Copies of this chain bind each other. A is one copy, B any other.
Amino acid sequence: MSEMVNVAVDAMGGDNAPGEVVKGAVEAVSEDKRVKVFLVGQEPVVREELKKYNYDAERLEIIHATEVIDTGEPPVMAIRTKKDSSIVRCMQMVKEGQCDAMVSAGSTGAVLVGGQVIVGRIKGVERPPLAPIIPNANGVSLLLDCGANVDARPSQLLQFAKMGSIYMESVIGIKNPKVGLVNIGVEEEKGNALTKETYPLLQNCPEINFVGNVEARDIPLGVADVLVCEAFAGNIVLKMLEGVSEVLISKIKAGMMGSVRSKIGALLVKPALKRTLKGFNTDEYGGAPLLGLNGLVVKTHGSSKAIEIKHSILQCIAFKEQNISEKIKEQIVLCD
Contact = CB atoms under 8 A, between A and B. Distances in A.
Interface of A: 136-137, 150-151, 182, 184, 191-193, 215-221, 231-233, 235-252, 254-256, 258-259, 261-262, 264-273, 275-277, 279-280
A221 B240 CA distance: 11
B244 A273 contact: no
Given A235-B184, A256-B272, A243 B217 contact: yes
Nearest to A195: B232
Contact of A221 (B243, B264, B279, B280): B243
A272 B276 contact: no
Given A252-B273, A265-B265, A269-B256, A216 B192 contact: no
B273 A191 contact: no
A83 B325 CA distance: 59
A279 B251 contact: yes
Interface of A is mostly: helix
A276 B247 contact: no
A255 B275 CA distance: 8
A182 to B, nearest CB: 7
Contact of A192 (B150, B241, B265, B268): B150
Given A192-B151, A240-B240, A256-B273, A220 B247 contact: yes
Contacts of A252: 252, 273, 276-277
A151 to B, nearest CB: 5
A245 to B, nearest CB: 6
Contacts of A265: 264-270, 272
A255 B276 CA distance: 6
Given A182-B236, A233-B232, A265-B265, A259 B247 contact: no
B280 A272 contact: no
A193 B136 contact: no
A236 B216 contact: yes
B239 A216 contact: yes
Contact of A268 (B151, B220, B246, B262): B262
Nearest to A232: B192
26 contacts: A137-B247, A137-B251, A150-B184, A150-B191, A182-B236, A184-B232, A191-B232, A215-B235, A216-B243, A217-B243, A220-B240, A220-B244, A220-B248, A233-B233, A240-B244, A244-B248, A254-B276, A255-B273, A255-B275, A258-B272, A261-B271, A262-B272, A265-B266, A265-B267, A265-B268, A266-B269
